């Protein structure tokens, strides 16, 4: 089963980005940074989600991100599915921090249960078919709206959402042009999907 081992974010200022992620979330081995001046405007077509165990941890991570320089997009709040909020890192990457739990069971931690890469795509059905052909296994599928793939042995889970719906969920306009400023490292690559998201072989993935 194909899986994602890492995600590389292209950033204009590598030193500043490294400082932000270290302070905000702790720079995971799954998240790499690479200096790039690739032109991009508006919504870059993806979000990264950090799933945690309880609301207190959501608040702790979002507060740390805001203190480190992130921009709030959606304040942490309760919803039908749980509790969460959305921020935008100084490099432009949109991060959602959420939990399915509605009550705290202990003190806040910095532990993350799961990292999910959500790609905003033009045609969920077509992109689903493309990724199945690349060796990814479908875990959940909701028609033409949303598809989630099994993580396999990798630490990052992949999901597909309609671009406009993903932007709405993140609290931003769906408009955007230029580079995604994202490289996905996994054992299925190298290839570029129908929406221009590029994969590379894990062995050649960048290091932090």
Strands (E), 138-203: 138-142, 146-149, 156-162, 176-178, 182-186, 191-192, 198-201
pLDDT of residue 203: 57
List pLDDT tens digits, range 150-186.
988 888 999 999 999 999 999 999 999 999 999 999 9
Average pLDDT value for residue range 112-127: 96
Model confidence, pTM = 0.93
Residues 130 and 195: their CA atoms lie apart, in Å, by 11
Using CB atoms within 10 A of its CB, is residue 130 exposed (0-12), middle (13-18) or buried (19+)?
middle
Closest CA to 176 of 67, 88, 96: 88
Residues 178 and 138: their CA atoms lie apart, in Å, by 29
Per-residue pLDDT at 55 exceeds 50: yes
Three-state DSSP class for residue 18: helix
């Amino acid at each position: 089963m194909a899986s994602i081992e890492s995600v590389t974010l292209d950033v204009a200022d590598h030193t500043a980005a490294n400082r932000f992620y270290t302070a905000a979330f702790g720079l995971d081995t799954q998240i790499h940074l690479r200096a790039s001046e690739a032109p991009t405007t508006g919504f870059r077509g993806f979000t990264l989600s950090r799933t945690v165990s309880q609301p207190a941890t959501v608040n702790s991570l979002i507060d740390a991100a805001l203190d480190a320089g992130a921009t709030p997009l959606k304040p942490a709040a309760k919803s039908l599915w749980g509790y969460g909020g959305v921020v935008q890192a100084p490099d432009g990457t949109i991060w959602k921090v959420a939990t399915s739990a509605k009550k705290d069971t202990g003190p806040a931690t910095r532990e993350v249960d799961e990292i999910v890469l959500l790609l905003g795509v033009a045609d969920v059905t077509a992109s689903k078919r493309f990724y199945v052909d690349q060796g990814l296994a479908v875990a959940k599928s909701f028609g033409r709206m949303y598809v989630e793939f099994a993580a396999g042995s990798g630490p990052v889970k992949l999901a597909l959402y309609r671009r406009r719906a993903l932007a709405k969920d993140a609290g931003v306009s769906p408009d955007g042009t230029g580079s995604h400023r994202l490289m996905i490292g996994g054992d299925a690559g190298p290839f570029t999907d129908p929406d221009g998201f590029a994969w590379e072989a894990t062995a050649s993935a960048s290091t932090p």
